[in-house]
Amino acid sequence: MAEGDFYSGKRVVVTGAAGTVGSRLIRRLLQHPIAELRALDNHENGLFRLSEELKEERRFHPFMCDIRSPAEINSLLKGMDYCFHTAALKHVPSSERAPFETVQTNIMGVQNLIQSALANGLQRVLLTSSDKAVNPTNVMGTTKLMGERLITAANATLHLTSSTVLTSTRFGNVLGSAGSFVPLFCGQIARGGPVTLTDRSMTRFVMTLDESVRLVLKSIELACGGEVFVTKMPVVRISDVAEELVELVAPLYGRNPAKIEIREIGPRPGEKMFEELTSDEELRRTVELDELFAVIPAFRNIYDRIEYAYPPNGTKGATRTYNSANEPVMTRPAIRKLLLEPDVLPPEVSALVAVKSERGVA
């Protein structure tokens, strides 16, 4: 089914609407013939800015809403068809300092959404998850894993009373998002350094904002129910990114790249040397598609009513766990090209790059 047909006439909800992924998702959805888009967030200023940008769009309706409030969510999901749930507490250090708050948002918030979606007869619900949900070593990752499990369980335990399809998608670092290491490094370079790395051999999955949104939209369309989609992404060595950013950004601020120190400070508590997007346990039930993997629910006897087949590859089994230690890393020229993609560098840095390009400076 073409994407335009899939969204035609649908009424769509996006939670976490003022966030990096949520706001870009909204703009992409509004390019399709949807009937209505409800944008939910508890961040007043962010929602106001988004509302100002889209004030001429009649299908767009912003609402101040906290995912922790069952009554609010239930009210705002009435009459809707699809829901993209991007609202979450996503920063590892702050989640470690406030675990109760993280549980309320990332676990209880997902439960509230599921119950409201089922009560209102939504057709599809997608949870955006994280690589940190795989073999979690911190509070944030643990709560995201529990969110995935709630989404999966809802398809199994409630299928007799509901036809709602619920699914999740995991991805790694979205370059240019609020939590990305790219703006952090750029700020350190602009101030003259040092650029701080936890470990030079650390690897990460990365993707652009547009690519992450495109694959989120693809996942909800492919969903059979209860599976976790995993996006295929390039891998970078963090030290390579730091070195490439020093070469690119330092001259923009009149600084000599050779004078910018790259300092190794050691891993933070709970930080992994590489990212995992599937686990050893999940391998035997993982299907490989063209741009995605699909992790099929473990308790298949509960899911006998669902045929897990995905066009065009059907049910081709995955042959390896998907983690950044097992994948080839990007070359330096490829990293430079990726950094120059839209919305990867901070706006002020992008503006300086544009000025430099206009002047024909190499």
Looking at the chain, the number of H-run helices and the number of E-run strands are 14, 14
Average pLDDT of adjacent 10-residue blocks, the chain of 362 residues: 75 96 96 97 95 96 96 97 96 92 97 95 96 92 96 78 88 81 94 93 92 94 94 94 96 95 86 89 91 87 74 76 92 95 92 82 50
Joined tokens for residue 328: 């080839």
Residue 304: what pLDDT? 65
* Per-residue DSSP letter, 316: P
Structural domains in the chain?
A: 3-175+207-233+273-329 (3.40.50.720)
Closest CA to 293 of 263, 327, 259, 342: 327
Instruction: Tell me the residue ranges of DSSP E strands in 246-350.
Output: 262-264, 286-288, 292-295
Q: Give the residue from 10, 20, 111, 32 showing the smallest Cα distance to 69.
A: 111
End-to-end Cα separation, the chain, in angstroms: 45
Looking at residue 1, its pLDDT comes to: 43
* 192 to 23, 57, 90, 157: CA distances (angstroms): 32, 43, 29, 56
Helix segments in the chain, DSSP class H: 3-7, 20-29, 44-53, 70-76, 92-97, 99-103, 109-119, 139-157, 181-190, 209-222, 238-249, 280-283, 332-339, 347-358
171 contacts 131 by C-beta, under 8 angstroms: yes
Cβ atoms 35, 11 nearer than 8 A? yes
Maximum CA extent, the chain: 65
HSE-up (13 A, CA, CB side) for residue 269: 8
- Tally the residues of the chain: 362
pLDDT of residue 269: 75
What pLDDT sits at residue 105?
A: 97
Q: Which residues are catalytic?
A: 132
The rounded distance, in Å, linking the Cα atoms of 118 and 166 is: 10
What are the CA-CA distances from residue 270 to residues 181, 220, 231 (Å)?
A: 17, 31, 23
CB distance 77 to 83 below 8 Å: yes
Tokens of 243: 């070195």
Q: What's the CA gap between 214 and 201, in Å, rounded? A: 30
Residue 267: closest CA among 201, 178, 331:
201
Plot region of 263 (φ>0 → left; ψ -120 to 50 → alpha; else → beta) = beta
For the CA atoms of 235, 240, 245, 246, the dihedral, rounded to the nearest 10 degrees, stands at: 170
Find the helix or strand (DSSP H, E) in which 206 lies: strand 203-207
Please report the pLDDT score of residue 272 as a whole number. 85
DSSP helix/strand/coil, 95: helix
pTM, 2 dp:
0.91
Instruction: Report d(CA 285, CA 270) in Å as an integer.
Output: 27
Cis omega before residue 312 (within 30°)?
Answer: yes
